[in-house]
Structure 1
Amino acid sequence: MVQQHDYQNQPWQPAAAGKRALTGAAIGLALITLFLAGVNSPDPAWGKLWMLRPLLIVPMAGALGGLINYFLLQYHHRFGVHKAIAIVLSVLIFVVGLWLGFVLGLVGTLWH
């Protein structure tokens, strides 16, 4: 007889994943808003709506980081990873993903 563990039967919970994604998006939106609030005189070559790109891309990167956090912490046993390592790895992935979202959102404007 094969013994099954409870973690193998855990269903995917869209509400919990959505909460993590919204939390990641809110963190990204708050950080990019604080960053963009410091821009006093933008370059006229950027256009009128230059802020839309970073205000859309960075929260999407944060939401993706939140989803990755959910999956790593929910299914760390299936991946064969200890929970502490999964937490550190998910935070590292979130920070790097958010940084890449900043770069992608600000390329051509504040980042040359």
Structure 2
Amino acid sequence: MFLRGIPRIPRGSGQRIDPAGRCEVLLTRELLRSLPKAELHVHLDGSLRPSTMLELAGDLGVRLPESEPEALAAAVKVSGSGDLVEYLEKFGITLPLMQTPGALE
């Protein structure tokens, strides 16, 4: 069943069975906070782990600005200044790593 692993709705949360046999649940903040969440907008190239970046770079012969995971993480992190140019420059580090089907797996 596709709901496996999803937390059970707590008893007393306002759930009931309607006349058609469907379960109705009162949505509360507590219930919504307890449910699993998913990212709605994540760029693949912006979510690579530094260790994966280093592995891909080695496989593909791509030179990165840093060779240690911690330093590489700092190199690809955007400062938060709101500078679009700085933000877009970081994609220049990750995009070359994701140009083959194998790298995308």
Shared fold per TM-score greater than 0.5 = no
Q: Which has more radius of gyration?
A: 2
The higher relative CO (CA closer than 8 Å, separation ≥ 6) is in 1
Between Structure 1 and Structure 2, the one with more helix by share is: 1
The two structures have a TM-score, normalised by structure 2, of 0.25
